Structure 1
């Protein structure tokens, strides 16, 4: 299906898309939006940071926008589900990259998928840069999680700087993210040193339940069965609020 009109934030682009095709929940376009982008070969540390960051954004009713690629993009989508928008460089009938098929299917079913390309249009190289301008243009802020100096993520950061969209980066070690360290050194980005403080800039952050019994119980990781036996189905509410994460039948606090 096609959106009736182009979202207002995209009209600030020099070359806004003429039309956008979509699959999913268009009400997500009404939420505050933060783009999260970065390396396809992201480090384990970066992926862990993204998981916590996007859980906090989700709990503050902020939508996470990215490009569906392997690495940073898909990690952000998965952590933010269902409050996530994927922007794709091909027609929406073509799932690319294929290794993300399951997660992209979730975006279609629970989040929102957008593309300026009609069905059957392949993901040609130049279209990824065109896609990136939509990812950036939709949002109130851009987070570059990890990036090399010469990368699409750095081009996204330059576009955000031009549009006066604030750019943020994660703390990284020397030599592991030359792009984000360059942005910091040249005052073209700000550092995220507190996930909740960052989220509060764009949404309403719920009180941090650090002293909560459930958060304490799950701090070092416990089996899902043990958590359900002790606290019941409220465990799933805590997951939706971004206070805990459930993976491989284990539960762990993200605070």
Structure 2
């Protein structure tokens, strides 16, 4: 593990800048645009799937997804973004995998993304340390997405931090009787609903579509293998194939 020495301007919005930050992974991710995603540890299937897709679409657009590494919405967000686009903020020492059920996910984030903690190695999570963790999660993001939350949940404490920091808050639309916390945020005008995930992700997009498209077509002109194109351009490959701008012959990409 290492101590993070470089200042993070986003953390100036916290009540008190952290005295120490421990990290593992690729700290350059912390220089990218970030969006925080939080929510219930026992979410509905709808909320978990939506959180996964929101994180996935943000990651495709060069955005780092920040969450708390917990069960439920946190895990869905990290999996949607993929370890390489995830920052997981821990309520414990960075050498502890909490919760244990997410140990493999947290190990992958440590290797490919970033684990962050304000706590000394060996520190075990306590009730108050989750609150400390939540403030850091919110501070890192340029906006906060609350996928699902009951009125008295820890996620609503994250909302309090976001309001004090002046962060924009987004929520999923839920049915009556579900996710009362987010429904009240909508009712009070303190949050905006996400009705179109692609449109939402474009708000934070870091990519330059025209330049990426040009680079993709130049790459395809050299007739790379399908695997090479998939590794380098991912979703753009599928879009071009569906639109008929490329074809696949004997495992190689050919421009049409």
- Matched residue, 1:197: 199
| 1:205 CA drift (Å) | 5.8
- Matched residue, 2:173: 171
| 1:5 CA drift (Å) | 3.1
Question: Which of 120, 123, 138 is the equivalent residue of 2:122?
Answer: 120
Structure 2: 5+ residue runs without aligned partners? 210-224, 240-256
Instruction: Decide whether the 8 Å contact of 1:28 with 1:111 is kept in 2.
Output: yes
- Matched residue, 2:217: none
SS state of the match for residue 23, structure 2?
strand
Q: Greater share of helix residues, 1 or 2? A: 2
Instruction: Decide whether the 8 Å contact of 2:230 with 2:237 is kept in 1.
Output: no
- Matched residue, 2:103: 101
Calculate the aligned-residue CA RMSD, in Å: 1.9
User: Where do residues 136-147 of structure 1 align in structure 2 (5 Å cutoff)?
Assistant: 136-147=138-149
Instruction: Decide whether the 8 Å contact of 1:19 with 1:116 is kept in 2.
Output: yes
| 1:43 CA drift (Å) | 1.0
State the alpha-carbon separation in 2 of the partners of residues 205 and 146 from structure 1: 28
Structure 1: 5+ residue runs without aligned partners? 208-230, 245-255
Change (3 A) 1:51 1:241: farther
Q: TM-score, length-normalised on structure 2?
A: 0.81
Q: Deviations over 1:155-178 (max 9, x none)?
A: 111111111100000111111211
| 1:236 CA drift (Å) | 5.1
| 1:11 CA drift (Å) | 1.2
State the alpha-carbon separation in 2 of the partners of residues 106 and 242 from structure 1: 25
- Matched residue, 2:153: 151
| 1:50 CA drift (Å) | 1.3
- Matched residue, 1:22: 23
| 1:116 CA drift (Å) | 0.6
User: Where do residues 1-255 of structure 1 align in structure 2 (5 Å cutoff)?
Assistant: 1-81=2-82, 82-204=84-206, 232-233=226-227, 234-235=229-230, 239=234
Q: TM-score, length-normalised on structure 1?
A: 0.82
| 1:239 CA drift (Å) | 4.7
Q: Deviations over 1:193-243 (max 9, x none)?
A: 112221222224676xxxxxxxxxxxxxxxxxxxxxxx9424555656697
| 1:129 CA drift (Å) | 0.4
Change (3 A) 1:166 1:88: same
